[in-house]
Structure 1
């Protein structure tokens, strides 16, 4: 418990920005048209700049990339199997199940990287970028497949591949790792420019997270609590077990546990709306998970640290 003040001091500004974004959106400032534009700017430019900057300059050989990959793959496949096992007890139709699945497996990248940098500093940010490079493609494939199977979304293998190769976060991870492994690094003063862009990514991204929350009626409270428990309690427990078995390293374990304890992402709502999922339920799941993470995420971090 000696680490509690440190953890709360690091997380406080992050959740304060999320709540500020929520408050600004409800006040109508600076206008409803601002937030979609801010999300696009962060998603397509600022956040990719941050990832390229981190990965291109990282000493990748210092990190246990192989064991981290094993934990990520087994963790996501294990949660997928658990979600299907629990489906008969949840009593939901196909579109609702696809939203439950996304709520159990997706994570908020903005919050994850902000927490990793705040608690584990520069090295934590680098490991977080590596975890994202492994998690994001696999999560996107799994979620699209589940939505196509249960929500009536029509998408082909070509469509899935197109979605992956045009995802700006995946592309940024590939570019950063490619520049690193090739020995090119960040030439021609690009590091300074990327650093400036990267500094704007997390504040704007966290404000957008808050603005994207939807205070929906809790008429499905039991289901919302069940999904939140699956995401915020069961997933970290499974990650802890896998890290104990695989032994990826102390820092890698801490960052993996952090990402396992993150709330869901507003990206899940967009995907549900596009592919026929239960979008209102998805919005409610993300909102409830983000609120509960105010308590569960510090608890997980105190245990890890």
Structure 2
């Protein structure tokens, strides 16, 4: 428990710093968006490429971890789609609100997972999170965009071509592929390039957490209702429980099992709000889900790591 709390506390402090900086207006609007793009397209790809290029693949159970995470996401996503009409009939949850519940239940905040993995396990932990990115980012993008296109009344209809274009342009996926190619071929970039990526990577974790903090809107949090509660329970309790069960069945132990639990225990992605806003979903509900989960994860994440991850 103490290891998880020790790793979580600095993460929370940096997130809180981002929230305060945004609230007092030291950094505003377009500046935050520019900072988020820099983090997303430059800083995090550097840390992913460098760690994957240097990691010993033979020492980590990549296949089992990928199958565990993809399987857990698929199970929870399928469950949500099966109960959608029941949610609508019993609680009056509209299709647009359902899309926010869906995203809030299955998407994950990569920034927080990477920061905690680095704090607890160092480069090996970051490499495991990179595996999670490969396993979950394409699947989650496909699921989220498909559900938004189907239920959010988006102006732009769902297109497989557009989806494939978005996936191939995702900087996390591209960075992961680059890191894998370097590792497998042994063709290392010059030392100066690797050193520069290390320097940029050091900035990535703090920058990503500042962006998370800036996106939180405590004032938007209303009294929790069925929509908020459903997304919180599925995201913070059900998903990590399913992942731990699948991981155990597939033979995951130690750090790899804990990494699976970590990836499924962090709050939902702040990018879910942007997708909801752009594709006609319930962006206000999405902001509330993100805020509630970020607060609740202070308690649930360490417990999940200790109980389910067997730390």
Q: TM-score band, normalised by the shorter chain?
A: over 0.9
Tell me what 1:99 maps to: 100
Q: 2:31 aligns with which of 9, 34, 44?
A: 34
Q: CA distance change for structure 1 residues 258 and 194 in 2, over 3 Å: closer, same or farther?
A: same
Mapped to 2, the partners of 1:81 and 1:33 lie a distance apart of 37
Tell me what 1:200 maps to: 203
Q: 1:85 aligns with which of 58, 66, 82?
A: 82
Secondary structure (helix, strand or coil) at the match of 1:29 reads coil
Mapped to 1, the partners of 2:8 and 2:224 lie a distance apart of 29
| Aligned ranges 1:154-173 → 2 under 5 Å | 154-173=157-176
Contact 2:101 2:230 (C-alpha < 8 Å) held by counterparts: no
Structure 2 alignment gaps of length 5 or more:
none
Mapped to 2, the partners of 1:5 and 1:72 lie a distance apart of 25
Contact 2:55 2:123 (C-alpha < 8 Å) held by counterparts: no
Tell me what 2:115 maps to: 114
Tell me what 1:254 maps to: 258
Contact 1:258 1:301 (C-alpha < 8 Å) held by counterparts: yes
Mapped to 2, the partners of 1:6 and 1:238 lie a distance apart of 23
Mapped to 1, the partners of 2:253 and 2:187 lie a distance apart of 28
Tell me what 1:240 maps to: 244
Secondary structure (helix, strand or coil) at the match of 1:139 reads helix
Q: 1:245, CA displacement in angstroms?
A: 0.7
Q: 1:44, CA displacement in angstroms?
A: 0.7
Listed one character per residue, the Cα deviations across residues 248-290 of structure 1 (whole Å, up to 9, x for unaligned) are 3422111011101010111001111111111111111111111
Mapped to 1, the partners of 2:166 and 2:242 lie a distance apart of 29
Tell me what 1:152 maps to: 153
| Aligned ranges 1:170-249 → 2 under 5 Å | 170-215=173-218, 216-218=220-222, 221-249=225-253
Mapped to 1, the partners of 2:190 and 2:250 lie a distance apart of 37
Q: 1:86, CA displacement in angstroms?
A: 2.6
Mapped to 1, the partners of 2:266 and 2:198 lie a distance apart of 25
TM-score by length of 1: 0.95
Secondary structure (helix, strand or coil) at the match of 2:29 reads coil
Mapped to 2, the partners of 1:226 and 1:98 lie a distance apart of 12
Mapped to 2, the partners of 1:44 and 1:73 lie a distance apart of 24
Q: CA distance change for structure 1 residues 5 and 71 in 2, over 3 Å: closer, same or farther?
A: closer
- Which segment is superposed worse, 68-77 or 279-288? 68-77
Contact 2:36 2:211 (C-alpha < 8 Å) held by counterparts: yes
- Which segment is superposed worse, 232-241 or 219-228? 219-228
Structure 1 alignment gaps of length 5 or more:
none
Mapped to 2, the partners of 1:223 and 1:245 lie a distance apart of 31
Mapped to 1, the partners of 2:123 and 2:178 lie a distance apart of 20
Q: CA distance change for structure 1 residues 220 and 10 in 2, over 3 Å: closer, same or farther?
A: closer
- Which segment is superposed worse, 89-98 or 238-247? 89-98
Mapped to 2, the partners of 1:296 and 1:196 lie a distance apart of 32
Q: CA distance change for structure 1 residues 30 and 66 in 2, over 3 Å: closer, same or farther?
A: closer
Mapped to 2, the partners of 1:6 and 1:179 lie a distance apart of 32
Mapped to 1, the partners of 2:71 and 2:289 lie a distance apart of 24
TM-score by length of 2: 0.93
Mapped to 1, the partners of 2:131 and 2:160 lie a distance apart of 26
Q: How many residues align?
A: 302
